[in-house]
Amino acid sequence: MSNTSTPEVFETEPAEVFIEAAHGQSTGHVDPTLLGLEPYQWVSISMAVLLLFVFFVAKVHKTIAGGLDSKIQAIKDNLEEAKQLRAEAEALRQEYADKIAGAEQDAEAMLDNAKKEADGIVKKAKEDTAAMVARRERMAQDKIAAAERAAVDELKAKAANASTAAAAALIAANHDADADKALADDVIDSL
């Protein structure tokens, strides 16, 4: 057997104070009053007094408005600073974009100049090579012509020496002293 019992709860009604009127009639529930005013009226009056005190004596509204104005001014200052920073950033971005464009143009100009200089160097090298080849060709032709002249002169000298030696041998073999005398006389007469 289990001896568990639950406590019994009784329902009660709130206590009401009934005031009997002068003729024996009951009027119902009565709330306490002070100076003839109901509690909600006292709450309203106290709120009005508190608000009047806050606004006129403590001047909280000016403090709140001043705080809000200072916050608004701080936000405006931040916005103005942000606008200035944005303008500066845009100016810097434009400046660097111009510098990049200028650098690209400079690079293109340098590339064009380098190509022109390279073409000029190649052209000059071709001209110098052609001139050097022509000069060497002339030198070779001059050496060949000089060698030919030297060979011809040497050949003429050998031929002259050989013909002189052959003539001397023929003259010595075919002429005697009388023939030489007659020949010498003819040469003298022709002069």
- DSSP string spanning 88-108? HHHHHHHHHHHHHHHHHHHHH
Same domain, 32 and 114: no
Same domain, 116 and 167: yes
Same domain, 36 and 118: no
Instruction: Decide if pLDDT at 159 tops 90.
Output: no
Which pLDDT value is given to residue 28?
55
Instruction: Decide if pLDDT at 4 tops 80.
Output: no
Mean pLDDT along residues 71-91: 92
Same domain, 105 and 184: yes
Give the chain's domain count. Answer: 2
**How far apart, in whole angstroms, are the C-alpha atoms of residue 41 and residue 47?**
10
Q: What share of the chain is helix, strand, coil (3-state, %, to 5)?
A: 75, 0, 20
Q: What is the pTM of this model?
A: 0.34
Same domain, 92 and 155: yes
CB 21 within 8 A of CB 27: yes
Residue 146 within any structural domain of the chain? yes
191: helix, strand or coil: coil
Tallying the residues shown for the chain, one arrives at: 191
Query: How many percent of the chain have pLDDT more than 70?
Result: 82
* Average pLDDT of the chain to the nearest whole number: 81
**How far apart, in whole angstroms, are the C-alpha atoms of residue 136 and residue 105?**
45
Residue 63 within any structural domain of the chain? no
Residue 64 within any structural domain of the chain? no
Which pLDDT value is given to residue 29?
58
Mean pLDDT along residues 122-148: 90
Same domain, 89 and 164: yes
Final residue before a domain boundary, out of 58, 91, 111: 58
Confidence of residue 80 (pLDDT cuts 50, 70, 90): very high
Instruction: Report the range of poorest mean pLDDT among 13-17, 66-70, 164-168, 173-177.
Output: 13-17
Same domain, 107 and 23: no
Residue 136 within any structural domain of the chain? yes
Mean pLDDT along residues 50-60: 78
Residue 69 within any structural domain of the chain? no
Same domain, 95 and 172: yes
Residue 41 within any structural domain of the chain? yes
Mean pLDDT along residues 171-189: 78
CB 18 within 8 A of CB 26: yes
Angle, CA 36 vertex, CA 34 and CA 38 arms, to 5°: 70
Residue 148 within any structural domain of the chain? yes
Domain containing residue 177: 75-190
Confidence of residue 21 (pLDDT cuts 50, 70, 90): very low
One-letter amino acid for residue 74 of the chain: A
50: helix, strand or coil: helix
